[in-house]
Amino acid sequence: MPDDLSNPEYPIPEDLRGQVTITTLDKIYNWGRRSSVWPMFWGLACCAIEMIATATSRYDMARFGMEVMRPSPRQTDLMIISGTVTKKLIPQIVRLYNQVPEPKYVMAMGACASGGGPFKEGYNVVSGVDQFLPVDVYVPGCPPTPQALIHGFLVLHKKIAAQPIKAIPGYQKAALEPLPIPVLGPDLINLRDLPRIPAAASGSGPEEA
């Protein structure tokens, strides 16, 4: 990694090349952040098995400093939504997301988490976790192979490397509002929809095609 760390505008004397690197604060800081992204250890469905397979010896996430998978959201940088997001579970997912300390990243792994996948038409399935959480990286596949997931990690690393310290959302002065946690009623109630519910419910249901 020192190649993209060093700043070629400042020539370093030949005999110090191996010991000294001149770089920017943003670069060295993000290099540290992206080389130790700790994912949260929780699986939702089939994708979780491929996620675990990525952590095992053949693919090995430890190469990216990602082998520390803690089940607690408090020790997490990255939430991998690895599986189908159901209406029954989305309140817990949003609650967990609110507990992850900033800066935090969300990866939608697989077709279900990205957009509902093969189960999209189901009555208990949320069509993509991005309806409730801000997603940083989408990994396509059903389930994505470990190679695809690793590619997703590399994309996330690029994204982290490109964030100036001053622009990271969690480092701003203003306090961040927690996301509203949806409620389970006769169907899932997204609190952002509240004003629209009585009108739409008293009208017809889904429009007839």
Partner 1 sequence: MTDQPIDVHVDNLETRFPGMVSQDSRQGYTGYLVKPEGLTAFATALRDQMGFRYLSSVTAVDYLAEDLMEVVYHAYRLEGGPALVFKTQVPRQEPHVPSLVPLFPGAEFQEREAWDLFGVRFDGHPDLRRILMWEGFGGHPMRKDWHEAYYEEEAKPFKNRWPEGQVYRIEDKVPYGHNVSYPSEFSPEGWVPQEDVALYAGLGKIQGNGDGSGGGLDTEQIVINLGPQHPSTHGVFRMVVRLDGETVVDLRPVMGYLHRNHEKLGERNTFLMNMPFTDRLDYLCSMSNNFGYALAVEKLMGIQPPERADYIRVMMAELTRIINHMLAIGFLLNDLGAYFTPVMYCFNERELILDVFEAVSGSRMMCNYFRFGGVARDLTQDAFGMVKRLVQERLPPKLDELERFLVKNEIVRERSIGVGVLSAEQAIALSAAGPVLRASGVPYDVRRAEPYSIYDRLEFDVCTRQHGDIYDRFLIRFDEMRQSLRILQQVVRDLPPGEIMTGKPQYQVRVPAGESYGRVENPKGELGFYLVSNGKANPYRYHIRSPSFINLTSLAQMCRGQKIADAVVILGSIDIVLGEVDR
Question: At closest approach, how far in Å is the CB of 84 from partner 1?
Answer: 5
State how far the Cα of 121 lies from the Cα of 123, in Å rounded to an integer: 6
Q: Rule CB under 8 A: say whether 200 interacts with partner 1.
A: yes
Strands 183-184 and 188-189: antiparallel
Within residues 9-68, the interface with partner 1 by CB under 8 A covers 41-46, 48-50, 52-53, 55-58
Kindly tell me which residue out of 64, 119, 159, 163 binds partner 1, with binding defined by CB under 8 A: 119
Q: How buried is residue 23: exposed, middle or buried, by Cβ count under 10 Å (0-12/13-18/19+)?
A: middle
Kindly tell me which residue out of 28, 62, 154, 197 binds partner 1, with binding defined by CB under 8 A: 197
- The alpha-carbon radius of gyration of the chain (Å, integer) is 21
Q: Which helix (H) or strand (E) holds 2?
A: helix 2-5
Question: At closest approach, how far in Å is the CB of 97 from partner 1?
Answer: 11
Which residues make Cβ contacts (< 8 Å) with residue 165, sequence separation at least 6?
25, 26, 29, 30, 171
Which among 7-15, 24-32, 88-96, 158-166 is the span making contact with partner 1, rule CB under 8 A?
Answer: 88-96
Residues of this chain that interact with partner 1 (CB under 8 A) are 41-46, 48-50, 52-53, 55-58, 71, 83-84, 86, 88-89, 92, 96, 116, 118-127, 131, 142-143, 145, 183-190, 193-194, 196-198, 200-203, 205-207, 209
